[in-house]
A and B are shown apart, each in its own frame.
Chain A
Amino acid sequence: DIVMTQSPDSLAVSLGERATINCKSSQSVLYSSNNKNYLAWYQQKPGQPPKLLIYWASTRESGVPDRFSGSGSGTDFTLTISSLQAEDVAVYYCQQYYSTLLTFGPGTKVDIK
């Protein structure tokens, strides 16, 4: 199985400041034939189901604010919130879909400082 890890476990950022979440996979999720990274990011607010933010490591889902961006390739990925808003308080998960045994990272909780 591909094991996903995230860091930090939690972080507190002031409103308007940048939040950065890291995700690492135990093996590459870059598919060489199409040069795509099979990596997605989700946001989960309390009491709600997860919401897709980013797929193919850096493609923003329709309707997602452009303050959210994804980057990275191979085994190391980053989700950046460029200017944290109050409504961004949530847990963020990365997920690999390179393998048919789909796996999520443990999550990173983002709060307001």
Chain B
Amino acid sequence: EVQLVESGGGLVQPGRSLRLSCAASGFTFDDYAMHWVRQAPGKGLEWVSGISWNSGSIGYADSVKGRFTISRDNAKNSLYLQMNSLRAEDTALYYCAKGYYDILTGYYDYWGQGTLVTVSS
């Protein structure tokens, strides 16, 4: 059974940093691209960042480019999102999502339950 478990969310002040993690199990992690998708309270879905199977291809939404860094550790079956210079508008539930294939683009066939990030003073 595929499982994606996010962690690392919490309350953080504007301008500070936070690192999210996603622990994956139930599939061959290094065969697939992985993504972060967020959802602000009461709002729709926004793709944040994605990374191909071997980290050779990485993409970011314009809204986070230069502030967020995605990475993965295939030996640990883990995905990460380093979030710096956080803003109030980054407040959201952050989902880890598995890509359908190894390349960066694609749809998501499995999602975690999400970890909540709240940016507030």
Contacts and interface: CB of A to CB of B under 8 A. Distances in A.
A93 B45 contact: yes
A97 interface: yes
Nearest to B109: A52
A107 B44 contact: yes
Interface in A29-44: 38, 40, 42, 44
A75 interface: no
A103 B100 CA distance: 16
A1 B106 CA distance: 15
Interface of B: 35, 44-47, 50, 57, 59, 61-62, 95, 100, 104-109, 111-114
B105 A102 contact: yes
Given A97-B107, A102-B59, 7 more contacts: A38-B105, A40-B108, A50-B111, A93-B45, A99-B105, A100-B57, A101-B59
Q: Which of B57, B105, B107, B112 has the most CB of A within 10 A?
A: B107
Interface string A39-69: 0101010000111100100000100000000
A49 B113 contact: yes
B33 to A, nearest CB: 10
Contacts of A100: 50, 57, 59, 104-105
A48 to B, nearest CB: 8
Given A55-B100, A102-B50, A50 B105 contact: no
A99 B35 CA distance: 14
B95 A55 contact: no
B106 A49 contact: no
Contacts of A107: 44-45
Contact of A52 (B45, B105, B108): B108
